Structure 1
Amino acid sequence: MTSPTALRPTAEATKEDFAHVRDWVFDLDNTLYPRHSNLFSQIDLRMTDFVAEFLALPKDKAREVQKDFYRRYGTTLRGLMSEHNVDPDAFLNFVHDIDYSWIDPDPALGDEIKALPGRKFIFTNGDRNHAERAARQLGILDHFEDIFDLVAADLVPKPASETYDKFLGLHRVDAAHAAMFEDLARNLQVPKSLGMKTVLIVPQNFETTFGDAWEHEGREGEHIDFVTDDLASFIRRIRS
């Protein structure tokens, strides 16, 4: 299913809607690889373990703190840095020590991304090593110009406006000729305000049972141009 009408009425995406796009910007987690792969659940659990050990908290309390930081700061790491001066390298290395074989290779997605005209970027709140390993497992790593990760963003995560500005400036991306694909609606507000075409990636069949309730907030917002639960098919449609 790729119809964007499941969340709010919008026109069906066409090639003409994206004819002006020269730079294609993709989030990583639950965007380039699907949420049903459940890879992020490994990261999520390791974040809870890290918070529990670092703050000497029981697991249930650590999880509450983790999720509170995620919502208020954009990432759990940012909250830990702001309130507890955590070493970011220690956190990133620990939480990304996971099994990437949970992701199924997706040659069809790779073919579609490769065929897009212009440059392609990964823009993630994770680190470069995580992005490279996930994209390599998908079989799509070689199709990207570069990866803009949390370290390149000076550890300031999306949706902070300065992080988008830093990305655009570093890679000389003209927002008026760019499109961004994301699984969190709030992370598309700034791109839309800058003039980017925005595409929200949702779980298959638009299920809202995955993730925290707040992650689904804003899906009906005017900053969302299109919605899809099948990224490869969506790209195929706007190319043809």
Structure 2
Amino acid sequence: MTKKPDAPAVPAHHADPGLRGADTWIFDLDNTLYPAACNLFQQVDHRMGGYISQLLDIAYEEARALQKGYFRQYGTTLRGLMEHHGADPHAFLAFVHDIDYSPIPADAALGEALDRLPGRKLIFTNGTVAHAEAVLDRLGIANRFDGIFDIVAADFVPKPNAEPYHRMVADHEVSADRAVMVEDIAQNLIVPAELGMRTVWVRTDHEWSHGGVGNEHVHHEVEDLTDWLTGYVEALERDKA
């Protein structure tokens, strides 16, 4: 039967039983919970180059090339520095996250959507707990989450490697078939989908976050997480009314 022209379209996520049956929502942090336009990673990125330059006593340009090579090979620059140079991960992380968080705006609407979203909410980040807490404080949503799984808890093995996902699921007793993973880097959704999670890709303008887009591991693609979550919880509440 053909839908009437004036009938409102029903967003796909409103009808997805995999989302509606979820009891745990797992959120990436950077460029997912706040807009990528904040350019926080540009600060971190610059400090990584400076750290490598000091650590290895090489020119900044050479350090930057090494930094990008390790990121492509290992998923994080830190992992490459640990593997090849025995870098102290705690010193590295403290240095690169010594940044200005003021570009992140408070997001009361996101806080309200999280309050109305059923189930546990977790943060899963390749950053540190301290970095996550600073971001959440700026957003005004620090008390909305039940736990943070960071790069230290992952034994410094980053997403998209499979090991940290399995460790996170075990540590937080997550039932993957009743969980949702929200990420801005599409390839970081491959393992969650393989584990049985529903996945949400928050699209940004950063080309490096698009690898793997269009594959079956991306179940939902959104531009604005706050708007999307608000629409989702409103649909849930209408159905219960």
TM-score by length of structure 1 reads 0.90
Q: Following TM superposition, by how much is the alpha carbon of 1:112 offset from its aligned partner in structure 2, in angstroms? A: 0.6
Gap change, CA 1:16 and 1:220, over 3 Å in 2: closer
State which of 189, 211, 222 in structure 2 corresponds to 1:228. Answer: 222
Match of residue 23 from structure 1: 24
Q: Match of 1:96?
A: 97
The equivalent of 2:124 in structure 1 is 123
Deviations 1:69-105 (A, max 9, x none): 1111111111100111000111001000011111011
Q: Specify the alignment match of 1:4 in structure 2.
A: none
Aligned partner of 1:46 in structure 2 is 47
Note the alpha carbon deviations across 1:123-155, whole angstroms, 9 max, x for none.
000010000000111011100001000001111
Structure 2, unaligned runs of 5 or more: 1-10, 236-241
Distance 2:69 2:15 in 1: 40
Counterpart of 2:12, as a letter, is E
Which residue of structure 2 lines up, in the alignment, with residue 7 of structure 1? none
Amino acid at match of 1:60: E
Q: Is the 8 A contact 1:15 1:238 kept in 2?
A: no
1:191 equivalent to 2:192? Answer yes
Q: What's the counterpart of residue 202 of structure 2?
A: 201
**Kept in 2: contact 1:122–1:147 (CA 8 A):** yes
Whether the 8 Å contact between 1:175 and 1:195 is mirrored in structure 2 is yes
Uncovered stretches (5+) of structure 1, i.e. residues with no partner: 1-10
Using CA pairs under 8 Å that are at least 6 residues apart, name the structure with larger relative contact order, 1 or 2. Answer: 1
Distance of 2:57 and 2:38 partners within structure 1:
31
Alignment of 1:151-166 (within 5 A): 151-166=152-167
Give per-residue Cα distances to partners, 1:179-230, cap 9 Å, x unaligned: 0000111110000000000011112xxx3xx3xx443211111110011110
Corresponding residue number in structure 2 for 1:181? 182
CA distance in 1 between partners of 2:115 and 2:102 (Å):
23
C-alpha deviation, 1:57, in angstroms: 1.8
The one-letter code of the counterpart of 1:12 is A
Cα deviation for residue 16 of structure 1 reads 4.0
Structure 2 length-normalised TM:
0.90
- 2:210 partner amino acid: H
C-alpha distance in 2 between matches for 1:146 and 1:34: 22
| Corresponding residue SS for 1:25 | strand
Q: Which stretch of the first structure deviates more once superposed, 88-97 or 63-72?
A: 63-72
Task: Write the distance in 2 (CA, Å) between the matches of 1:127 and 1:221.
Answer: 29
SS of corresponding position for 2:33: coil
- Contact kept? 1:105, 1:139, Cα under 8 Å: yes
Structure 1 contact 122–144 (Cα < 8 Å) conserved: yes
In 2, Cα distance between equivalents of 1:110 and 1:214: 28
Detail structure 1 runs of 4+ shifted over 4 Å in the superposition: none
Separation (CA, whole Å) in 2 of partners of 1:237 and 1:71 = 36
Q: Which amino acid aligns with 1:13?
A: H
C-alpha separation between the residues in 2 aligned to 1:49 and 1:83? 17
Aligned equivalents of 2:142 and 2:73: distance in 1? Answer: 31
Q: Indicate the residue corresponding to 1:12 in structure 2.
A: 12
Residue 71 of structure 2 is aligned to residue 70 of structure 1: yes
